[in-house]
Amino acid sequence: DIQMTQSPSSLSASVGDRVTITCRASQSIRSYLNWYQHKPGKAPTLLIYAASTLQSGVPSRFSGSGSGTDFTLTVSGLQPEDFATYYCQQSYNTDHVTFGPGTKVDIK
Count of chain residues binding another protein (CB under 8 A): 28
> Rounded CA gap, 56 and 65, in Å?
17
Report yes or no: 83 and 104 within 8 Å, Cβ to Cβ.
Answer: no
The residue range among 18-26, 27-35, 65-73, 75-83 that interacts with another protein, by the rule CB under 8 A, is 27-35
Pick the closest to residue 23 from 84, 76, 66, 58 (CA basis). Answer: 66
48 residue type, one letter: I
Q: Is 101 in the site for another protein (CB under 8 A)?
A: yes
Q: Select the residue interacting with another protein from 21, 73, 89, 105 (CB under 8 A).
A: 89
Determine the interface stretch with another protein among 14-22, 36-44, 62-70, 72-80 (rule: CB under 8 A): 36-44
